[in-house]
Structure 1
Amino acid sequence: MSKPTFNRALRRSALTVALGVCFASGVAHAQSNAAGSIFGSTGEPGTVVVIQNVDTGLTRQITADANGRYSATALPTGEYTVSLQRDGQVLATKEDVQVTLGGGREVSFSAGGAADGSATDLDRIVVTGTAASFIDVSSTDTRTTFTAQQLEKLPVGRSIESVALLAPGVVQADSRYPGTASFGGSAASENAFYINGYAVTNPLTNLGSTSLPFDGISQMQVITGGYGAEFGRATGGVVNIVTERGGNEWKFGGLMTYRPASLRADYENILYPDNGTPNDGLIYQKREEIEVNSWSYGMYASGPLIKDRLFMYVGGEMEEQDQSSVLARPGGATNGYRDSHYEIPRWLAKIDWNITDNHIVELTAVSDITKQTVDYFPYTYTPGTDETIRGYEKTGGYFYEDGGELYVGKYTGYLTDSLTLTAMYGTQKQDHIAVPFGYDPSVVYVSDSRSVADPVQRGTYAQLAFPDAFDETEGFRVDLEWQVGSHSLRVGYDRQDSTSRAGEVTSGPAGYRWIYSSCGPGAAGEPIQGGGGAVCPGGSGDYVSQYRYANGGTFSVDQSAYYLEDRWQVTDNWLLTLGLRNEAFENFNADGEVYAEQKDQWAPRLGASWDVFGDASLKLFANAGRYHLAMPNNVALRGAAGSLYTNEYFAFTGIDPVTGAPIGLTPLGDGPYSSNREYGQAPHPDSVTAKGLDSHYQDEFVLGFEKRLTDQINVGARYVHRDLKAAIDDMCDYRPAYNWAIARGMSEEMADQLGNELASCRLFNPGEDNTFMLDDGSGNLVEVALTAEELGFPKLKRMYQGIDFFVERPFDGTWYGRIDYTLSRNYGNAEGQLKSDVGQGDVSQTMDWDHPELMEYANGYLPNDRRHYIKGYGFYQLTPEWRFSATATFQSGRPKNCTGYYPNNSPEDEEFIEFYSYGGPYYHFCNGEPVPRGTSGRLPWTNKLDLGVAYAPNWADNALEFSLDVFNVFDEQEAQSIVEYGELGGPGVPYAHSNRVLSYSTPRSVRFALRYDF
């Protein structure tokens, strides 16, 4: 009878342990931006929980507290085994515990098991991982985590952006910002990217980020809302990547991919729209001749240098692409054939050193360099036909090289069971090289705008980018975690400084170029238009100007923050996250002077998670927070840099036949003239921005639930509300400062001076009161305080509301799938830092707020508004040899606009049009009638289905895999963006290109891949 009794006890104990892993632990634990955690309850104080990494042997022993709780934070991602021990005896073990990036995994055990409540008679109980769906009740944010195993199985592009677009609430940004995405209605420049905890967002523009070998991604986390106090500098989303690392087993592998042009569907031609012109329906851009061949190949190796202690991972890949295209226009206007060759070598190296089980050091190095060669060739095109004839004599081109290396070091110290310290330092340098074809640096550029039979022309490029352009970042962070009973306290400080050198300068050795022009005969003594007092010469009226231009410099942004966060396990079922972050931003001009500064920007973060039934089967969660964003370095390039552009006018007696330079010069004016009175000096740093400028910041509220519907199915939904509270842009209106001065009895001359200073475009907070410091003409600054009413702008508005629904089936060894549906509304009068309406790339310096008239009827649906978005992806392991996979996206089109000239309906309108307006089709009017934003219809839905199949033959022990992926199976190419100008040439004059397509979704393509891992 003893044996059955023992079996009953064993079965009962196994059941309690198995159920125990689902129960809430009642212990708070902190989360890291480059690690995860394991937590739970042992049911008995003083028991020991042993947590061991399966790959590296890293082991932590945690003693349960007085309530039987334990928590292990800042764990490297990967697979773990968790054991419960008492007096050195293993009572139970949980295997296959997967720690994901920023996630918490609960492993709880029940006390006892035998009739008397003890379990000392059990040899060992193993509870292995199952296919049961898993809900992380420890999180209050909204994230999607992709593992390397998932990315390997899905038909998805091998880029960070392609993966991010699978997350709910993320849509592709305007095609004029390539490789970017919009998160939750934000502009594409409002996201943050991290690799192993270090920020790698583009420091010049905030558009995009550094990349790495795709197979070097171990896990990629896409956070679309509610991120904690450790994250900042983003009002869109956060993409957080941890790289592969070595383990105790040596591994090697390689991958080759090929996407042939022969299996790619023809690109859709761009046609002239049907606007009642002779060109209607003719080819504007002959995209059907685009040919793209791309391939990549890479290898990796990983393993132990010292077993259980020192590990390495090294991997590299080379992407190459050849592309040929042609721009064909009716009437013979040509841009030539364009051949491009891309080479993108990337490599990743990582060292992990477990000095002891309590002290870990990680070293990461990443290289990401893009090399592009662009060649131009002539061609002829017969209008109205498909005939193009290519020439083979190269007419121009460029060589570009962009990129560099990233180095990151990180220390993790488990100082005690309850105290963890992490410290990280990183630096990155990226060079930007642009070498034009046929450029002779010894030649002074000469151009001729006269109507002569043989115009003078020397040189190929009038302006060149700085040859020593670069971006550089340096940053560090320190985080301390302290478990105190039911509280997990975190305090941290982080800093990132970025420096960019960018700009343009006149080509050639002299710093100037010659421009020949003519006033015409009989104009002697007449002023040269725009000549600053220079007069036309006699005779033929021909003259020459010596033009100097230089703009740019070296700029920097310093960003720092400290935060405090308490993750408080109020009860076994309730978790509260209480966080507070303080941000500081400083923007420096090329002289190293601060021109914009925001300090003590307090950002509260509040979150709650309710494990309703205490078994992780239903979670309700909510969070609210404020998020700040700094201006990138390019703002200084446009707004705080010194711009030298002068013209000096001369009569001449002859032209050097070799150099094209003028001979026998006679001055026609009083020397160099420039509308920029500083002659290249940077504006006073206090005059660049309004005083007390608020940073770009947003408030967010999220409410949602996740439900384990069955052992195989999870469902959930969340509501997201985002409200942009302040933005930074530039305004360029003369009138407010002029009126302010006149109202205070100042002279007409002083009012004109202050008005012109404000018209030089100053950074401000749109829709708010702003105080400007303006130069009175003598170098002294006058404080000009203007109310929102005096400035004349409406309140800033950008509001995003979205409801996300999902159904997910976790992988059970056979198949995995997830479907998301997002219903959203993105409404307001400003997109944020960008203006996708026209593809404007001047971050925080868009056209929108330059004059109040530009904001009339600007309220409406914004460019990133996609009312409906359906996403699905998954894979099915039919047999050990065969796997099938799919991804699908269906999104409604973006809203359309019709913009035109400002109508002249009053004397005030006439004055504005004559003196202040841009004189172009930039206003929300067409044919003199208001056309509010987003009311001109919508672009069509974009639907895309990608399918994949993979074969791993048994004879190769499944180490060899052949795969075939077909992207956009049904070759649906829909317009992604269009020309939204309804007029050109004046009010009521239709624009022949109105509604012309700017870009289509990519055509069907096929990717072959061969992978081998051993």
Structure 2
Amino acid sequence: MHSTLRRAALCVALGAALSTGIAHAQSNITGIIFGQAEPGTTIVIRNTTTGLSRTVQVDANGRYRATSLPDGMYTVTQQRGGESLSVRENVAVTIASGTDVSFTARADMQDLDRVEVRGTYIPVTDVSQTDTRTVFTADRLERLTVGRNIQSVALLAPGVVQADSRYPNTASFGGSSASENAFYINGYAVTNPLTNLGSTTLPFDAINQMQVITGGYGAEFGRATGGVVNIVTKRGGNEWEFGGLVTYTPSGARATYKNIIYPDNGTASDGLVYQKRDEHSVNAFSYGVSASGPLIKDRLFLYAGGEITQQEQVGVLARPGNAQNGYQASDYDIPRWTAKLDWQISDAHLLELTAVSDVTKESVSYYGLTYDPGADTYQFGDRKTGGYLYEDGGELYIGKYTGYLTDSLTLTALYGTQKQDHTADPVGYDPSVVYVSDSRSIANPVQRGSYAQLAFPDAYDETKGGRLDLEWSAGDHLLRFGYDRHDSESRDGQVTSGPGYRWVYDTCGAGNGGTPIPGGGGALCPGGSGDYVSQLRYANGGTFSVKQWGYYVEDRWQVSDNVLLSLGLRNENFENYNADDVIYVEQKDQWAPRLGVSWDVRGDSSLKLFANAGRYHLAMPNNVALRGAAGSLYTNEYFAFTGIDPVTGVPTGTTPLGDGPYSTNREYGQAPDPASVAAKGLKSHYQDEVALGFESTVGDTFTYGARYVYRRLQSAIDDMCDYRPAYRWAIDNGYSEDVADNLGNALANCRLFNPGEANTFQLDDGSGTLVEVALSKEQLGFPELKRNYQGLDLFIERPFNGTWFGRIDYTLSKNYGNAEGQVKSDIGQTDVSQTQDWDHPELMENANGYLPNDRRHYIKAFGAYQITDEWRVSATASLASGRPKNCMGYYPDTPENEEFNALYAYGGPYYFYCNNQPTPRGSAGRLPWTKLLDVGVAYRPDFAGSRLEFGLDVFNVFNSQTEQNRIEYGENGGPGVPYNQAGRVVSYTTPRYARFTIRWDL
């Protein structure tokens, strides 16, 4: 097995072929092998694990490609007339990537003798890609010191920062908000359909490859303006393999949590404990097993793996003077499993079936806690005050077909479905008990019942969808066509506990008889003490759905041997449905061009210059309908009373004080007209991106590179709740005062719109007739929408050479504007696309500045070193500058603002003002730098034949508990009135802890 080679390519022949070929990107769960070889020869590509074999011809230009290859290790052989000429072994194919395997060099090189070519490749750049991605293989994940979850791995990629801690297990990609990412398992979208925050997960050891794409993704990807996390599970091969893992994270090996303290704000609570975290404890244990192998050799393969995590956790809530003092004990039981069948019907037809189960069971118990401020001590009680049994999750099923119809034509088809149930069963709940609360300032307030509101008992999320992709190799062009659809349905909501209502005691105060009850809809205060009671009824929710589909065309054009041009165009379509299965928002024919170029400068894959540009759209998730398009019952009916039942707390001797139930939102359970929920012709959330960079190799050892990226949010969706624009429009257009008032109130009920531009609303004039109200940007009064991200990513990497590997990334970035995205981290608001921002223009004054996900500097490093065959050490480190801080307060109390404050202002510290002075976004400084170091050691004893491994990982070695976010309200009770929690820490980074591991392979 020999080949005649050129002298300058001798190192290629001995180790790895670096010469260029036709380089084309692949689908999101397969890869490609491409390269140059002698014209007229045949290339045979064989998977060393499953025996899958493909044969392709080298064209007249000396180029070949094999597309849609399952990830794994391959042997590539060049043949002529059935005789082997040369062989490349240990060729790794990674998802959505290309591997250059060339057998000839450029014509300007001199001839060499015939040599045998075998071995593993030296580091080269992937010239087949124009995007930016980081791929983590199972082998690399096993060697790294990293958390066993998707988010921890994603945070190792450049440009990815941890999102606000109030959005658990989420991250921000390239300045986007936490809800703008897309997650895939084996090609199927598993992003949370209710909120877009987070995703389905799976047993960590079932991950074969995880790809994190941080920008420039091609036309086949849509519905993400942040990043893409793409996971491919393990599969079986021709050898049976068995494995097991036990991990233990003991509470005793965890450092003490730092208490959260009331800040020094000149109030009585200065320096007192807000949350007694030094009593927190976490004890976790998990174990897993896996098996893989052939059911029929070379044809049918199975992989099955599962893990169970059991965790005990105690958290303490200690707020001096607060009746809610207590502590919480939680027990988690998290069983997860993954199974995959691969049927190689023939070398030309493949069928894959995947099943994933992701369930979390949690038992929560609440107990009393007494605080003695004089002695500054806490007394833990053993009386259980309440609790919940939660269960979230379900199963995911995916089927995929790949057909190599000809050497140049490949067809793939995928379909999946998922159902996740969400139950919350209150412990000891008695539906006959009426919840009673007391808002009066009295010594012994009335309180009955433990649960005021209950979640829907049959809540769930369900998705189904698929895609069809056709790939045609035509000379220098790889043409790709595809269609995909993803439908999601969510049921969610809340109802009042007990018989559907609760009693709330309050008072107008003595001597105010006959005056209106504030917000009471005309009900009048009683005489005497002024005490009254209201019967509150609340219900909100339903079943909602979103339908998303798109199609694309893409031409991967090899302009020359060294230049690849990617031309793509995607069309996105979104439909959002309310609980009556009626569309309330739709966006059709949204065109998203994608352009990319890769220049293999030297022609040997050692230096790549690349650039890309594109537009990316994002749909609203189902929870938008829950708040904005669902039927909502919220009524109060007011009564005077003569007594209170001492057992039930229910009022006796009631006398109505008004005309019956009154709703401040003018809705009595019916859903709003779908046409009125959103502005007419509402555009979707979309973003434009431009990036350019280079990647290069240093000899046979290192790869380094840089990328500059610019992202601009062009359009967003939020809700506005301002009475004034519609009222003024109606008066200016000759409507009566009553109609103008009705139109103003309709808009004040919050309607979806595109911030910072003109919008046309359809509003109820009070008679049920919708009036089209066209409002210019000036009439609405909002500033231009702005979110700009600029980032410079630098990296250097040493691929594994049998002894060690490592990577260092540095990101310099700037995230500036007045719109974080679909959520609002300033206050931890999770109402996706319906944040407090943009409710009225005054909220956006001084809102321009550095956004919550701005981290000016970020350094990441990870790697592992094989000291001997038995011992390995590893480390992961990160160093990040802190997020910007704000001071938010009341709108200035000045004469010119008197009307606004009296009629329209939110009665709270929600504005970028403090002490009646402007406090622009980010002007209060920054939080401290976050500094984390994780280290690990692993031992594989020789006596076990390297099939047994003992590991110890220590996270946050120096126990650097850094504040992650703070309360950004600076005032409470009015302008200039200090808030005793202003600047209070919300959360710290996790303290030092250890994880012990035992792993075995059979």
1:447 deviation in Å?
3.6
Q: Which moved more, 1:640-649 or 1:894-903?
A: 640-649
The code of the aligned residue for 2:917 comes to E
Residue 843 of structure 1: aligned partner? 832
**Pairing partner for 1:99 from 71, 75, 93:** 93
The aligned counterpart of 2:408 is 418
Question: Quick check: 1:506 aligned with 2:496?
Answer: yes
2:904 is matched with 916
- Match for 1:594 among 583, 598, 604? 583
Which of 742, 755, 774 is the matching residue for 1:753?
742
Task: State the 1:331 CA deviation.
Answer: 4.3
Q: CA deviation at 1:332?
A: 6.4
Name 2:708's counterpart in structure 1.
719
Q: Distance in 2 between matches of 1:520 and 1:892?
A: 52
In structure 1, what is the equivalent of residue 58 of structure 2? 64
2:308 to 315, 318, 325: 318
- 1:350-749 alignment to 2 at 5 Å? 350-383=340-373, 387-449=377-439, 457-508=447-498, 510-517=499-506, 525-536=514-525, 543-651=532-640, 659-662=648-651, 666-749=655-738
In structure 1, distance between residues paired with 2:205 and 2:442: 60
Q: 1:940 aligns with which of 928, 947, 956?
A: 928
> For residue 718 of structure 1, what is the amino acid of its counterpart?
R
The answer (yes or no) to whether the contact 1:924–1:932 under 8 Å persists in 2 is: yes
SS of aligned partner of 1:681: coil
Question: For residue 140 of structure 2, what is the aligned residue in structure 1?
Answer: 150
The 3 A distance-change label for structure 1 pair 269 and 459 is closer
| TM-fit CA distance, 1:324 | 1.3
Measured after TM superposition, the shift of residue 67 of structure 1 is: 2.1
Q: 1:916 to 1:349 in 2, by over 3 A?
A: same
Residue deviations 1:320-379 (CA, integer Å, cap 9, x gap)? 211112222344655212111111110001101001111001000001111111111112
Farther-moved stretch of structure 1 (12-21 vs 845-854): 12-21
Structure 1 residues 422-431 or 284-293, which shifts more? 284-293
What is the TM-score when the length of structure 2 is the normalising length? 0.97
Contact 2:2 2:116 in 1 (8 A): no
- Could you say what secondary structure the match of 1:464 adopts? strand
Separation in 1 of the partners of 2:866 and 2:11?
32
**1:929 CA drift (Å):** 1.2
Alignment counterpart, residue 31 of structure 1, candidates 16, 26, 35: 26
For the residue of structure 1 that corresponds to 2:666, the secondary structure is coil
In the TM superposition, residue 922 of structure 1 has moved relative to its aligned partner by 1.1
Whole-angstrom distance in 1 between the partners of 2:312 and 2:531 = 47
Deviation at 1:646, TM superposition (A): 1.8
Residues 859-902 of structure 1: per-residue CA shift (max 9 Å, x gap):
11000000000000000011110001000000000111111111
Equivalence for 1:3: none
Shift of 1:630: 0.4
Instruction: Write the letter of the residue equivalent to 1:468.
Output: D
1:299 equivalent in alignment to 2:293: no
| Paired AA for residue 335 in structure 2 | P
Q: Deviations over 1:375-413 (max 9, x none)?
A: 111122233766322111211111111111101100000
Partner of 1:224: 214
2:163 partner amino acid: A
Cα shift readout 1:110-160 (whole Å, capped 9, x = no counterpart)? 2999x99999xx7x9332114x21210100000000000000010100000
Give the structure 1 partner of residue 851 of structure 2.
862
The percentage of counterpart residues that share the same residue type is: 71
State the alpha-carbon separation in 2 of the partners of residues 321 and 396 from structure 1: 20
AA of the residue aligned to 2:673: H
Give SS of 2:383's match: coil
**Deviations for 1:273-305, whole angstroms, at most 9, x for unmatched residues?**
122233322222111111111121100000000
Give the structure 1 partner of residue 17 of structure 2: 22
- 1:632-686: CA deviation from partner (whole Å, max 9, x where unpaired): 1111111111111122344556666665555565544333222233311111111
Give the equivalent residue in structure 1 for 2:813: 824
Which of the numbers 946, 952, 956 marks the counterpart of 2:940? 952
- Paired position in structure 2 for 1:961: 949
The residue aligned with 1:1005 is 993
3-state SS, counterpart of residue 395 of structure 1: strand
Asked if the contact 1:802–1:825 (Cα under 8 Å) also holds between the matched residues in 2, the reply is yes
Partner of 1:833: 822
The 1:642–1:962 alpha-carbon spacing in structure 2 relative to 1, beyond 3 Å, is: same
Look up the equivalent residue of 2:48 and give its one-letter code: V
Matches of 2:857 and 2:443, distance apart in 1 = 59
Q: For 1:809-868, what per-residue CA distance to the aligned partner results, in whole angstroms no more than 9, with x for missing partners?
A: 011000001000000000001101111111111111111101111111111100000000
Stretch deviating more after TM superposition (64-73 or 765-774): 64-73
Q: Which amino acid in structure 1 is aligned with residue 675 of structure 2?
A: D
Whole-Å Cα distance in 2 between the matches of residues 455 and 931 of structure 1?
A: 39
For residue 205 of structure 2, the aligned residue among 192, 208, 215 is 215
SS in 2 for 1:393: strand
TM-score (norm 1): 0.95
Q: Would the aligned equivalents of 2:257 and 2:277 in 1 still touch at CA under 8 Å?
A: yes
- Identify if the C-alpha distance between structure 1 residues 334 and 650 changes in structure 2 by more than 3 Å, giving closer, same or farther: closer
> Structure 1 residues 393 and 575, CA, compared in 2 at 3 Å: closer, same or farther?
same
Q: Is the 8 A contact 2:679 2:760 kept in 1?
A: yes
Establish whether residue 995 from structure 1 lines up as the match of residue 989 from structure 2: no
Question: Secondary structure of 2:971's match?
Answer: coil
What runs of 5+ residues in structure 2 fail to find an aligned partner?
A: none
Q: Does structure 2 conserve the Cα–Cα contact (< 8 Å) formed by 1:112 and 1:118? A: no
Q: For residues 370 and 627 of structure 1, what CA distance do their matches in structure 2 show? A: 33
CA contact (8 A) 2:15 2:118 kept: no
**2:37 counterpart of 1:42:** yes
Q: Whole-Å Cα distance in 2 between the matches of residues 618 and 342 of structure 1?
A: 50
1:895 matched to 2:876: no
In 1, are the aligned partners of 2:5 and 2:104 still within 8 Å (CA)? no
Q: Is the 8 A contact 2:7 2:110 kept in 1?
A: no
Is this contact kept in 1: 2:743–2:764, CA < 8 A? yes
Shift of the 518–858 alpha-carbon distance from structure 1 to 2, 3 Å rule, reads closer
Assess, with a 3 A threshold, how the Cα gap between structure 1 residues 982 and 517 changes in structure 2: closer, same or farther. Answer: closer
1:809 aligns with 2:804: no
Could you tell me whether the CA contact under 8 Å between 1:26 and 1:486 is conserved in 2? no
Asked whether the equivalents of residues 342 and 351 of structure 2 are also in contact (C-alpha less than 8 Å), the reply is yes
Partner of 1:290: 280
Instruction: Return structure 1 stretches of 4+ with deviation > 6 angstroms.
Output: 6-14, 115-119, 451-454
**Counterpart contact for 2:4–2:111, Cα < 8 Å:** no
Q: Shift of residue 443 of structure 1?
A: 2.5
2:757 to 765, 768, 771: 768
The question of whether the paired residues in 1 share the 8 Å contact of 2:535 and 2:637 is answered with: yes
Change (3 A) 1:611 1:570: same
Distance 1:801 1:451, change over 3 A: closer
Cα distance in 1 between the residues matched to 2:691 and 2:110: 47
How big is the shift at 1:249?
Answer: 0.5
Between 837-846 and 740-749, the greater mean CA deviation after superposition: 740-749
Distance apart, 1:540 and its partner CA:
6.3
- Compared with structure 1, are the counterparts of its residues 111 and 276 closer, same or farther at alpha carbon in structure 2 (3 Å cutoff)? closer
Change (3 A) 1:204 1:612: same
Distance 1:839 1:449, change over 3 A: closer
Answer whether contact 1:270 1:286 (CA < 8 A) is retained: yes
- AA aligned to 1:172 is Q
